[in-house]
Amino acid sequence: MRVPLSWLAEHADLPPDLSAEQLDATFVRLGLEVEQIQDTAADVRGPLVIGEVLEIEELTGFKKPIRYCRVRVGAEEVRGIVCGATNFAVGDRVVVALPGSVLPGGFAITARTTYGHLSDGMICSTRELQLGDEAGGILVLPPDREVGADAVDALALSDIVVELNVTPDR
């Protein structure tokens, strides 16, 4: 069972300077086995921002659906991004990993030409951000999210996650 420290803090009075070692020792005293303590902020580096989809061009002639999207990632900054997901529309707010970003698993984002277009970043799914196992499409955010804002802060991606081994005899 994975338990984010931010969620635990909503339900328990935790000291603000609680270290990973103290947290581990506390769970052990409670009879729970800690398998891993992960700092999710260490898994995501670089420019990860909230973008607004401005245009979508459906690319044809490929074995799977491919879209070339124009995405606003700042006040006056628009990037072209190739994407294979189809669950988002013009006007949607999405998470964009810009070139230079590194996503969980060490996946480095670079600008590259693919399907005949320069893809200058990546529109992210929940699985790519390790926010869930759903790989069916892009993470679409509420429309009030500020374009260009840091997505790491907006999505609380910098958290400590404790993985507990729940034993059936407890």
pLDDT tens track for 67-121: 999 999 998 999 999 999 999 999 999 999 999 999 988 899 999 999 999 999 9
Helices within the chain (DSSP H only): 5-11, 20-29, 151-154
- Shared-domain flag, residues 32 and 82: no
Instruction: Please report whether residue 124 resides in a domain.
Output: yes
What domain range includes position 12?
2-42+157-165
Q: Domain count of the chain?
A: 2
- pTM of structure: 0.77
Assess contact for 53 and 89: CB atoms under 8 A.
yes
- Shared-domain flag, residues 53 and 14: no
- Shared-domain flag, residues 132 and 70: yes
Q: What's the CATH code of the domain at 135?
A: 2.40.50.140
DSSP state letters, 138-159: B-EEPTTSPTT-BHHHHTT---
| Spatial separation of the C-alpha atoms in residues 21 and 54, rounded to whole Å | 46
